[in-house]
Amino acid sequence: MRRLTSTAIATALGATALLVPATAAHADEYETIQTDIGVTAVGPDSATPGEWVTYTLKVTNWGNSAASSIVRLALPTGTTDATYEERPVVTSQVLVNNLPPGETDTLKITANIGSHGNAKKLPASFRVSPGEGDFPLYRDTNPSNDTANIVTENTKEVVGARLSLKGVIRGAQWVGRTHLQKVTITNTGDRPTHEFRLRGSMHPKSKGIVHVKGVQGANGSFHAAGLNYSFPALKPGASRVITLAIRTVKQPGGFGGKYQVGGGRAPLAELDLRG
C-alpha cells in the first residue's frame, strides 16, 4: 500500500508535536487508503481557569488498513501551553502515525486551561482527520466517530463589575495651605461597568476644593465642599485617578473627604479619608 512521505505530512502539519519516520514512497505514487479512525476523550469534570489539566485521548483504527491521522485540538478560549509528550503543540494538531488496524494509540494532552470568557462551561473538542488538500492521509469510511467533546465545569466564581476606592492625602495640612487628596477607582471585577458615579464631600475643616484633575471625559462638577461626577464605563482591571487640590480653612485636625462610587452594574463602595 502506498503512503505519503514524511516530508509531505510534515508540510501539511507545519510544526508538529510528533516526529514522523520516513518512508520510500513518493507523492506521485500515492493512492488513497480507506479505513475508519475514531477518537474518544476523557477530561476534567471541573477546573479553575489557569489550572493545569490533562485530556486523555484514545485514537482507534477500526478499519482494515493502517493509516496516519491528524488529531485537531479545539481547547477552551484562553488555554495556553498545550503539550503532548512534553513537546509543545504549536499548531493545535497532533499526528498519530501509521496506526495499524485494530490498534489504539493513547494521547495525553496537558494544558493551562483558559477561562473561555468566564463562561460556566469550558468546552474542548478533539477531531481525527485525514487532512486536507490533494493528498489526504486516508479516506474515512465512518465520519460519525471522528469527534470527541469534553465539557468542564468552570469552578471560578465570576464577579461582575466591582469598583474599589483607595485614597491618600499629601501636602501641608495647615490653614491657608493646599494639600492633595488622591482617589483611585479600580474595577476589581470580571465584567466591565456601565457608566458609574463618584460623589465626594469634604471634612468641615478641609473645605475649599480649588481644582480637580482626572475627570476628563466625565460629566459633572465640583464646588468648595464636594463633587459629583458621572464617568464612562471601566474595563476589568482598569483604574481612574482623581486628584483634588484642597485649601484648608480651619485649624489642623480632621482633614480629608468621604467618597462614594457605584452604579453601572457595580455595587456601592465607600472611602472615608477623614481623620
The average pLDDT across 124-137 equals 92
Residue 275 lies in a domain: no
Q: What is the CATH number of the domain that holds 63?
A: 2.60.40.10
Question: Do both 28 and 138 map to the same domain?
Answer: yes
Question: Do both 125 and 187 map to the same domain?
Answer: no
Question: Do both 28 and 114 map to the same domain?
Answer: yes
Residue 272 lies in a domain: no
Question: At residue 260, what is the residue type?
Answer: Q
Render pLDDT for 242-266 as a digit per residue (tens, 0 to 9). 999 988 776 666 678 899 999 888 8
Residue after which a domain boundary falls, among 121, 136, 154: 154
Render pLDDT for 168-224 as a digit per residue (tens, 0 to 9). 988 766 777 788 999 999 999 988 999 999 999 988 877 789 999 999 999 999 999
Question: Do both 13 and 149 map to the same domain?
Answer: yes
Render pLDDT for 85-115 as a digit per residue (tens, 0 to 9). 989 998 999 999 999 999 999 999 999 999 9
Place of cell 468552570: 154
Of 130, 125, 129, the residue nearest 109 (C-alpha): 125
DSSP states along the chain: -----HHHHHHHHSS-SS-----S--GGG----EE-EEEEEE--SEE-TT-EEEEEEEEEE-SSS-EEEEEEEEPPTT-EEEEETTEE-SSSEEEEEEEPTT-EEEEEEEEE---TTT-SEEEEEEEEE--SSSS-S-EES-GGGSEEEEEEEE-S------EEEEEEEEE--STT-EEEEEEEEEE-SSS---SEEEEEEE-GGG--EEEEES-TT-EEEEETTEEEEEE----TT-EEEEEEEEE--S-SSS--EEEEEEETTEEEEEEE---
Instruction: Say if residues 8 and 27 touch (Cβ distance below 8 Å).
Output: yes
Summary mean pLDDT of the chain = 86
Residue 72 lies in a domain: yes
Give, in order, the Cα–Cα distances in Å from 175 to each of 205, 218, 251, 252, 253: 9, 31, 6, 7, 10
Render pLDDT for 47-58 as a digit per residue (tens, 0 to 9). 999 999 999 999
Question: At residue 78, what is the residue type?
Answer: G
The average pLDDT across 232-248 equals 93
Instruction: Say if residues 146 and 140 touch (Cβ distance below 8 Å).
Output: yes
pTM: 0.58
pLDDT recorded at residue 211: 94
Of 20, 28, 35, the residue nearest 137 (C-alpha): 35
Q: Which of 9-13, 150-154, 181-185 has the lowest mean pLDDT?
A: 9-13
